[in-house]
Structure 1
Amino acid sequence: MSTSNRRRAPGLDGSTILLLVGLTLAVLVLGTVWAAVTWGSKLDGVNPELSGDPFELFFGVLRGKVAWPGSATWIAVAAAVVILALGILLWVAIARARSKRTRVDEAARFMGKGKDLASLSAKNARATAQRLGVDGWIGVTIGVTIVGRQKLYASAEDMIVMVAGPRVGKSTSYVIPAIVDAPGAVVTTSNKRDVVDATRDVRAANGSTVWVFDPQGIAREEPSWWWNPLSYVTDDTRAARLAAHFASSTMTGGASENSSYFNRAGESLLAGFLLAAALDGRPITQIFTWTTRPGEIEPVKILERHGFIGMADAVAGEVNGEPKRRDSVYGTAAQMVDCLKIGKIARWVTALTGDAADDPRPQFSPEAFVRSKDTLYSLSMEGQGSAGPLVTALTAITVEAAEELATTQRRGRLSVPMLGVLDEAANVCRWRNLPDLYSHYGSRGIVLMTILQSWSQGVEVWGREGMRKLWSASNVKVYGGGVAETEFLGELSQLVGDYDKHTSSTSVGRGQRSTSHQIHRERTLDVSELSGMPRGRAVVFASGAPATLIETVPWMRGPHAGPVRASIAAHDPANTAVAAAAVPVQERAQAWVEAGTATDGEQDD
C-alpha cells in the first residue's frame, strides 16, 4: 500500500493567470504615477497640498485636479526603464533556472524538504561528529536538495547503500569525493583504474601511504609490496572465515540444493587446507596444489601434529571418501582458489624468495593499516582469472581488523572513522556476511558505502532476503537512476509516496460561468520516471525521513577539484606509458626490489 504526503498541487487556469498579470501591471502603473507626481511636485514646487493616497493622486491626475509636473515625465521614464531592466533580469534568472531543471524536478515539491531532512543536515552531521570526537570531517556528502538547496550528509555513524546503473556518475559524485574527504584510513574496491588515478595523489598529499592491490594489472601496478592471506589464519575459526571469502566467489544467492551441498563440503575442505598451510609456513599457492591431489594425506598430518584434531578428521573424511564424491568436492574447492594458479596473481600474495623474511618488499598488515590514514585500493575484474576472491578476503580482513581495534578504543568505536567504499561490490567484493554485519559496523566507526548497478546484482550475491537485509540495515539509501527493474522500481515508487493533485475545470452556460474542482491521488514518481532518472539526480531514502530528490555534486564542483585533476593527469596511462618507455623493464623491476621499504604509493606506474 502506498503512502501519501497529502500535499496538493493546485493548478492555475488561464483566467487566473490573466487576472494576476493585470493586477501586477495595475500596481506598477499606480506606483509609477504616484512616485513621478510626488517627487516631481517637490522638484518643481507644484501641488503643495498633494495627497498621500496613491489612488486619489492617480485619479486626480486623470481628472485634471492634480497638475502633472514637468519633472514627473523623466522620473516616470526612468522608473519604466528600471522596471523593464528588473523584468529582463528576472526573466533571464527564471530561464536559467528552468534550463537546469529536469523533467523530474517538479516532483521534489511533494517530497521531503526542510525540517523533514534534519537527520541528513550539515548541522546534525556536525553535531554527530562532535559527539563522537571526530575532528575536521562532517560526513559523506550525499547531494543538494532540489527544493531549498539544502546540502545533505551521511554522518560518521551512518551506513550507505547506492543502487545506480552504469554511467550515471557514481564515481564522480560519490566514490571520488568520499575518498578525498575521508579523515582516516580508506578501503575501496573497483574494477577500473579511474578512481585510483583521481584520488591517489590527493590522499598521498595528506600523509596517506597508498597501497594498490592490482593482481590483474588493471592499473598496471607492479607488485612492489605483498600480502600474505595466511598471516590472518591463526586458528580453525579464522581458517573457516577465509575459506568463506574464497567460496563466496563461486556461490550465488540462488544456488541449487545439490551445488550448495558440494559448495559447503568444498569450503570445509578448503578451510582445513588453509589452516594446514598456515601452521606449516607454506605459501598460499600450496592450497591450490592440494586441491588438485585428491587423496593427499599431508594436510591431515600437519593438522594432527599441531593439535587440530577435529579439523584433521574433517579433511581426512574427504581424503578417504568415496572417490566419485571426493573428486567432486576437491573440484569444487579447486574452483574456489582457481586464481592462485595464475603466476601474475601469485606474485601479490607470495614471497619472492619463498621465505617471507627474505622478501625485500614491504608486507601489508591490516592491523597496522587500520591504525593509519593510509589508502587501500583493491582492483579486480570479473571473468576468467579474476582475483575477486583475494579482493574480497583482503577487504573483509582489513575491516575486521578495524572492528577489533575499535573494541579497544573509547566507546568501542574508532576514534577516527574508517571509510570503506565497496564499488562494484557484486562483481569485485562478493562478501557473503556483509548484510549481517552492516548495521554493526556503523556502531564501530566504520562507515561503509556499498555500490551496486542493480538490485538483481545484490540478489545474485546475497539472495533475496540477504539483499533486503542489506538495504534495510542502511541508514542512507540512494537510488541514482539507470535501472530497468520494474519490481524494484515499483517498490521505490511506493516508498516515495503519492500526492493529492488538485485540478479545476470551467464551464459557461446560460450566461453563467461555473468552476468545479477535483482532487485525485497520483504517484509522485512513477516507475518510468525512476527508470529514466536524468543524470545528476538521485532519490535519497534515510531513516526517519521522507524520500527526497537531490542534485548530485561531482568532484569537479568540490574543494578538491584542482588536486584531483592534477592526480588524473599525472597518472594518465598515455603519460605514464611514455615515461616508462624510457626505462628498461629489468631496471624498473630491480628499482622497486632494491627500494625494500618503499611503498607502492611512492613508485611510478
Structure 2
Amino acid sequence: MNGGYDRHHTDIDEARGFTDWWEGFQRTRAGDFLREHTPLVRALASRERGRRAMALLVLAPFLLCVLLAALFRQSWILVLGVALLAALGAAGALVWSWYSGSPQQAADRFLTDEHLLTRREGMQQLSDRALSHAADHAMPGTRAMLDSGDARRRPISPSLAGVLLGDCHRAHVWLSMERPAYVLSPARGGKTNALVIPLIVEAPGAVVATSSRKDILDATFDLRTGGYATPSRRDFDGSSPHSDGERAYVFDPMGIVGSVRRYSDARIRWDPVPACRDTRKARTLASALVSSANFSGEDATWARIGVDITQALLLAAALDGKGLDDVFLWSQDTQGISRARAILERHEQECPEARAWALPLARLSEDDRRTASNKLLTMSSAFSALSLPQVRAWFRPDPLARRFDMRAFLRSRQTVYLLAELRSVNGQADASTAVFNCMFLDDVRDTAREMAAEAEHGKLEPSVSLILDECANISPWPALPQVFTAGSGDGIFACAVFQSRPQAQDVYRKAEAQMWESGQKVVLGGLSDSQTLRDISALVGKREVKSVNHSYRGGFWLGGRLRDGLGTNEQTQRVATLDEQALREIPQWCALLMSAATPAAAVKLIPWWQRGWQGEADEADGTAQAWSDAPQMTVR
C-alpha cells in the first residue's frame, strides 16, 4: 500500500517537474517563437487536437527518415527511423501523461486562444507605451510639469498612470488608473496574491486598503513604508517601479491586528468630528452611521428622523470642540440631546444652520413617550458600533498626538489600512464597526474632490487608490457606485473585489449593473453563477467555425459517363469565443480582462513574489533579498 502511495506522489512530482520546465522553456526566445508564431503550443493544449498533435510530433522524425531512406536508398536510415519511433513513442506517451489534463495545459489553452486579444492589439492598447501616451491627456498636470522642466519631451512613466497586471502573449498588460476596476474572484482564487497586493505596493499615489484580515497588511506594510526597487524590470521609458517609502497608518477599532509591535506606531486616531463644522460632511457622516443599522420597510421613516438628529449632534460636537465620545453619550437619553441643543443655540451667529438643525432635537423633548422612545431606539441602533469603549478610543481626540491630515495624506504616497470584521447578517441588532471605514472613505472622496477642484488642471495627480478587498463582506460603502460611474476624472481610482456578481447585487441592488458597466472587468476562474457566466460569454463575443459535411447520393449518368454522387457542403457557424465552461475553468494565476472597447484579453497574472521587488531597507545594509524568492503565501 505504501509503495503504491509513494509511487503516486513520485508521478505527481515528475509531472510537476516537467510542466515547470515547459513553462520556463516558453519564456525563452525559442519557446516564445513556438508559442507565438507556430500553432504547436495551441494544438498541444487543445482538448480535441492535443493527442493528434503529440502523435504528429512523435511520427515526424520517423516519416522524415522514411523519406530520406527512399530518396538515398539507405536502409540504415530506415532502421534509425524505427529506433527513433520506438524511443520517441515511449517518451511521448510519458510526456503526454504528465501534460494532459495538467494545470499547465489548461493555462496554455487559455493563454494561446487566437480569438482573444492578440499580441499586436495588446501592445497598441494595453501596454506601458499605450498607457503613457493616454496619460498625456489623462494627467495634464504631470504633462505640464514634465514639459516645463526639460526641452526634450519626456514620456510620462506608466507607473504613474497604472499598475502592471500581467502578460498577454508575453507582452505586459497594464491596468489603467483612469477607469475603476471590478474584480470577480471566488474565495481562494488567488486575487490577494496576484491582484490586491501588487495594486497596493505599486500604486503611484496614496492608498486606502480595506480588509477583514491582516494578511494584506503583513505583505505590503514594509514595502509601502520602507520602499522598494525593481532592478530586474524596465518599462519602455527605461524606468522601473520603485518607491522611497512613506508612512503607513492602521485603523483597527476591533483589534484584528492585536498587539503586534510592528504596527504599534502606525495606529491612527481619526477624529471625524471637526470636519462636521461643514454641514455637508455632518450629513454624510450621519447617513453612514444610521445606514449601519440596516433600517428597512416601515423603519425607513425612523431612519430619516435618525439622520436629522445625528447630524445635529455631530454639528454640535464640532462647534463645541467635542468628540465622538460625547456624541455617543448625548445620543443615549433626552438630557444629552438637550445639551447638544443648547450648544447649537449658543452658536447661531457662528453657524447659520445651527438653529434649523436644532429643531429635530427640540421636537424630541415635545414628543409623547412612545414617539420619543422610538427615536431614542433609532439613535441607540445607529450608535451601537460605538458602545464598546475600545472602539470609541480610536476616535477620541488626543491633544498630544499629531492629528491625521487628510489633505497631506492625499498629496503623498502614504497608506491607510482599514481593518474590520465581517459584516453582521443580523441587521440592526449587531451593527458593524466597519461603518467607520465608510465614514473614512467618504472623507477621502470629498477631500480628493475638493483638492481636484482647487488644482490648476482640475485633478488629483497621481490618483489616490481605493483598494476595496472584501468590500461586500465588510460594511459596503454606499458611495461606491457613484465613484465608479464618475470614473477617475477627479483622481480617485477604485478597485472593488467581489466573490460573485450576485454577492455585489445583494449589496448594491440595481446600482451594481452601473458599476459593472463602468469598470475594467478582471475575471478569475471558479465562478459558478450561470447568469454571470452567460453575460461574460456574451461580452467576449463570438467566433466563426467552419464545418465541412460530405454526403453520397448514389451514381448518375452525365455525358455518357457514370458519376458518383459525392457532395461537399461547407457551413459557417458563430459560436461563443469562451463558453460558460471555459470561463469557469480559467486557470489559476490567469484572468480575463475586459477594458473599455478593447477585445477581451487572456492575461497571465504575476503574483507578488514573482515581481522582483527588493526592499530598500535591505539594500541599505547590503542584504537585499528579492521578494521573488519569498515563500508563497496561501492562495486567496
What's the TM-score bracket when you normalise by the shorter of the two chains? 0.7 to 0.9
The question of whether the paired residues in 2 share the 8 Å contact of 1:420 and 1:449 is answered with yes
The answer for unaligned runs of 5 or more in structure 1 is: 1-8, 34-57, 63-67, 573-605
Q: Report the alpha carbon displacement of residue 26 of structure 1 after superposing the two structures with TM.
A: 9.6
1:348 is paired with a residue whose SS is helix
2:457 is paired with a residue whose SS is helix
Q: Report the alpha carbon displacement of residue 444 of structure 1 after superposing the two structures with TM.
A: 2.2
The answer for unaligned runs of 5 or more in structure 2 is: 1-42, 143-155, 228-244, 349-353, 425-429, 555-563, 615-624
- Alignment partners' CA distance in 2, 1:565 and 1:361: 38
Aligned residues: 516
Q: Is the aligned partner of 1:548 residue 2:591?
A: no
Which runs of structure 2 are paired with 1:414-493 in the superposition (5 Å)?
Answer: 414-440=460-486, 442-464=488-510, 466-474=511-519, 476-493=520-537
Letter in 1 for 2:305: A
The question of whether the paired residues in 1 share the 8 Å contact of 2:483 and 2:494 is answered with no
- Alignment partners' CA distance in 1, 2:58 and 2:91: 18
Q: Is the aligned partner of 1:108 residue 2:113?
A: yes
Range 215-224 or range 513-522, more displaced:
513-522
2:235 maps to what in 1?
Answer: none
1:156 maps to what in 2?
Answer: 177
The question of whether the paired residues in 2 share the 8 Å contact of 1:248 and 1:431 is answered with no
2:273 is paired with a residue whose SS is helix
Counterpart selection for 1:230 from 273, 283, 288: 273
Kindly tell me: are residues 428 and 203 of structure 1, through their superposed partners in 2, closer, same or farther at Cα, counting changes over 3 Å?
A: same
1:176 maps to what in 2?
Answer: 197
The question of whether the paired residues in 2 share the 8 Å contact of 1:166 and 1:453 is answered with yes
2:298 maps to what in 1?
Answer: 258
Range 380-389 or range 171-180, more displaced:
380-389
Q: CA RMSD in A?
A: 4.2
Q: Report the alpha carbon displacement of residue 177 of structure 1 after superposing the two structures with TM.
A: 0.6
Larger Rg: 1
Q: Is the aligned partner of 1:267 residue 2:307?
A: yes
Kindly tell me: are residues 260 and 516 of structure 1, through their superposed partners in 2, closer, same or farther at Cα, counting changes over 3 Å?
A: same
Counterpart selection for 1:329 from 370, 375, 385: 375
Q: Is the aligned partner of 1:127 residue 2:133?
A: yes
Counterpart selection for 1:194 from 207, 215, 222: 215
Kindly tell me: are residues 248 and 565 of structure 1, through their superposed partners in 2, closer, same or farther at Cα, counting changes over 3 Å?
A: farther
Deviations 1:206-238 (A, max 9, x none): 221110111111111558541111122122211
Kindly tell me: are residues 227 and 13 of structure 1, through their superposed partners in 2, closer, same or farther at Cα, counting changes over 3 Å?
A: closer
The question of whether the paired residues in 2 share the 8 Å contact of 1:128 and 1:155 is answered with no
- Alignment partners' CA distance in 2, 1:532 and 1:264: 46
- Alignment partners' CA distance in 1, 2:304 and 2:54: 74
Range 210-219 or range 309-318, more displaced:
309-318
Q: Report the alpha carbon displacement of residue 405 of structure 1 after superposing the two structures with TM.
A: 2.2
Deviations 1:76-101 (A, max 9, x none): 989x98xx99x989x97997698413
Counterpart selection for 2:163 from 140, 157, 171: 140
- Alignment partners' CA distance in 2, 1:198 and 1:28: 55
Range 169-178 or range 22-31, more displaced:
22-31
Q: Is the aligned partner of 1:293 residue 2:330?
A: no
The question of whether the paired residues in 2 share the 8 Å contact of 1:11 and 1:502 is answered with no
- Alignment partners' CA distance in 2, 1:101 and 1:22: 18
Kindly tell me: are residues 555 and 399 of structure 1, through their superposed partners in 2, closer, same or farther at Cα, counting changes over 3 Å?
A: same
The question of whether the paired residues in 2 share the 8 Å contact of 1:185 and 1:419 is answered with yes
1:55 maps to what in 2?
Answer: none
Kindly tell me: are residues 182 and 568 of structure 1, through their superposed partners in 2, closer, same or farther at Cα, counting changes over 3 Å?
A: farther
Q: Report the alpha carbon displacement of residue 528 of structure 1 after superposing the two structures with TM.
A: 4.5
1:51 maps to what in 2?
Answer: none
Letter in 2 for 1:491: D
- Alignment partners' CA distance in 2, 1:13 and 1:503: 15
- Alignment partners' CA distance in 2, 1:438 and 1:430: 14
Q: TM-score, normalised by structure 2?
A: 0.70
Q: Report the alpha carbon displacement of residue 275 of structure 1 after superposing the two structures with TM.
A: 0.8
2:22 maps to what in 1?
Answer: none
Kindly tell me: are residues 472 and 318 of structure 1, through their superposed partners in 2, closer, same or farther at Cα, counting changes over 3 Å?
A: farther
2:361 maps to what in 1?
Answer: 315
Kindly tell me: are residues 11 and 473 of structure 1, through their superposed partners in 2, closer, same or farther at Cα, counting changes over 3 Å?
A: closer
1:594 maps to what in 2?
Answer: none
Letter in 2 for 1:315: L
Counterpart selection for 2:318 from 278, 298, 318: 278
The question of whether the paired residues in 2 share the 8 Å contact of 1:184 and 1:419 is answered with yes
Q: TM-score, normalised by structure 1?
A: 0.74
The question of whether the paired residues in 1 share the 8 Å contact of 2:485 and 2:514 is answered with no
2:269 is paired with a residue whose SS is coil
Q: Report the alpha carbon displacement of residue 278 of structure 1 after superposing the two structures with TM.
A: 1.3
Kindly tell me: are residues 335 and 256 of structure 1, through their superposed partners in 2, closer, same or farther at Cα, counting changes over 3 Å?
A: closer
Kindly tell me: are residues 151 and 21 of structure 1, through their superposed partners in 2, closer, same or farther at Cα, counting changes over 3 Å?
A: closer
- Alignment partners' CA distance in 1, 2:200 and 2:114: 32
Q: Is the aligned partner of 1:241 residue 2:246?
A: no
Letter in 1 for 2:513: R
2:404 is paired with a residue whose SS is coil
Deviations 1:455-475 (A, max 9, x none): 2332233222x111222222x
Letter in 2 for 1:458: A
Which runs of structure 2 are paired with 1:28-67 in the superposition (5 Å)?
Answer: 28-29=64-65
Kindly tell me: are residues 457 and 526 of structure 1, through their superposed partners in 2, closer, same or farther at Cα, counting changes over 3 Å?
A: same
Q: Is the aligned partner of 1:537 residue 2:590?
A: yes
Deviations 1:318-351 (A, max 9, x none): 4433432333233223222211121111121103
The question of whether the paired residues in 2 share the 8 Å contact of 1:243 and 1:267 is answered with yes
Deviations 1:494-524 (A, max 9, x none): 2122333333455678687665444333333
Letter in 2 for 1:102: A
The question of whether the paired residues in 2 share the 8 Å contact of 1:489 and 1:527 is answered with yes
2:347 maps to what in 1?
Answer: 306
- Alignment partners' CA distance in 2, 1:397 and 1:94: 57
The question of whether the paired residues in 1 share the 8 Å contact of 2:476 and 2:507 is answered with yes
Letter in 1 for 2:529: E
- Alignment partners' CA distance in 2, 1:260 and 1:273: 20
Q: Report the alpha carbon displacement of residue 12 of structure 1 after superposing the two structures with TM.
A: 9.1
- Alignment partners' CA distance in 1, 2:47 and 2:214: 50
Runs of 4+ in 1 over 4 A off after TM superposition: 9-14, 16-27, 29-33, 91-99, 221-224, 505-516, 561-569
